[in-house]
Amino acid sequence: MQAGDIDRALTRISFEILEANKGPDDLVLLGIPTRGVPLAERLAAKIAKTETGVDPKTITGAVDITMYRDDLHGKPLKHTHPTRIPLSGIDGKVVVLVDDVLFSGRSVRAALDAIGELGRPRMVKLAVLVDRGHRELPIRADFVGKNLPTSRSEQVSVHLTPLDDTDEVVLS
C-alpha cells in the first residue's frame, strides 16, 4: 500500500465507524502504540471533517499495553508509551481500538485488559489498517483497511509519517 491507498482505506474506515456508531456521539478512538496512535489521530481528523462540532483531540487517545503483554517473562521491559484517554473518559462510551497490523491477536488482548482497568466502555470495537490472518486468539477486526493474506514467514511493515519517512505498507 502506498500513501494514497492508506489515505483511502482510512477514509473508508472513518465512514464505517460513523455508520456503525450512528454518528460521533460517545465515540473514543484509542491507538495501540506505536503506529496505532497516529492512525487513530488520522481517523479522528477524518471524522471531524465529516461531522461538525467534533474536535479530534477530544475523541482520541492511546492505551499502553506493555504491562499486559503475555510475553514479558524472561525479557527486559521495553519502552512504555503513556496511556492517554480523553477527559470525558471511556465509561459508557464506544471505544474503537486502532492498530496497524492484526496478526496473532495478542496485542489486542493486552489492550482489552488495559482498557478494563481504565473504565467500563459500553462497547469495544477494533479497527486495523492491515489484517494479515494467523490468529492465535478468537479476535477479529470490525473495521479493516486491507486484508493481506500472508505466510507466517512473511513480515508486514507499516511506515507512517511523522514516525517514518513515508506512508506505506511493505510485505517482505
**What's the confidence (pLDDT) of residue 168?**
98
pLDDT at 80: 72
pTM of the model: 0.95
pLDDT digits (tens, 9 = 90+) for 129-150: 999 999 999 999 999 999 999 9
Residue range 3-32, pLDDT digits in tens: 999 999 999 999 999 999 999 999 999 999
Pair 129, 145: CB distance under 8 Å: yes
Q: Residue 116: CB partners within 8 Å, gap ≥ 6?
A: none
The answer, yes or no, to whether the previous bond of 162 is cis (omega within 30 of 0) is: yes
C-alpha cell at 165: 519517512
What is residue 75's predicted lDDT score, i.e. its pLDDT?
66
> Which H helix or E strand runs over 159?
strand 156-159
CA atoms within 13 A on the CB side of 47: 30
54-96: pLDDT as tens digits = 999 999 999 999 889 887 766 666 667 899 999 999 999 999 9
Distances (CA, A) of 137 to 53, 67, 94, 140, 151: 38, 19, 22, 9, 17
Class (C level, CATH) for 3-171: alpha beta
Show me where the domains of the chain are located: 3-171
Q: What is the pLDDT of residue 91?
A: 97
Question: Contact, 37 vs 31, CB < 8 A?
Answer: yes
- Average pLDDT for 103-111: 96
**What φ, ψ does residue 115 adopt, rounded to 5°?**
-60, -35
Give me the pLDDT at residue 70, please. Answer: 82
Which amino acid, one-letter code, is at 46? K
